[in-house]
Amino acid sequence: MNEAVPTIVRRYRAGGVLTWAILHQIEADVLAEVAATGKYSYRLLNMLRASPALGYPKDDRPVSFEGHDFVPPVFGAIDDAWRRVD
């Protein structure tokens, strides 16, 4: 996942602000790419993704994890890469 995230984030970075909609799209792209390698089980991939039960928005507001007790690993990696990738 750590290799896929920066590459995929670069594709979306021109948008400027990381929105919830973009975050979810990047998540889908990252998990699809990682799954395509065949190196990780479906169960492990599900542990990385954001569960719908967490209720994260899917709109065009800027991403903020304030008020959320848990940040899924893939969301954390995407947010970190968004801040570091040119």
Asked if residue 15 has pLDDT above 90, the reply is no
Q: Which long-range contacts (CB under 8 A, 24 or more apart) does 27-33 make?
A: 27/74, 27/75, 27/78, 30/1, 30/4, 30/5, 30/74, 30/77, 30/78, 31/74, 33/4, 33/8
pLDDT band at residue 86, thresholds of 50, 70 and 90?
confident
pTM higher than 0.85: yes
Is 12 part of any domain?
yes
Residue 40 maps to a domain:
yes
Q: Note the pLDDT tens digit of each residue in 27-77.
A: 999 999 999 999 989 999 988 889 888 889 999 999 999 988 899 999 999
Stretch 14-29: mean pLDDT, rounded? Answer: 94
Domain that holds residue 33: 4-54+69-84
What pLDDT shows up at residue 63? 97
Are the beta carbons of 50 and 74 closer than 8 angstroms?
yes
How many domains are there within the chain? 1
Residue 61 maps to a domain:
no
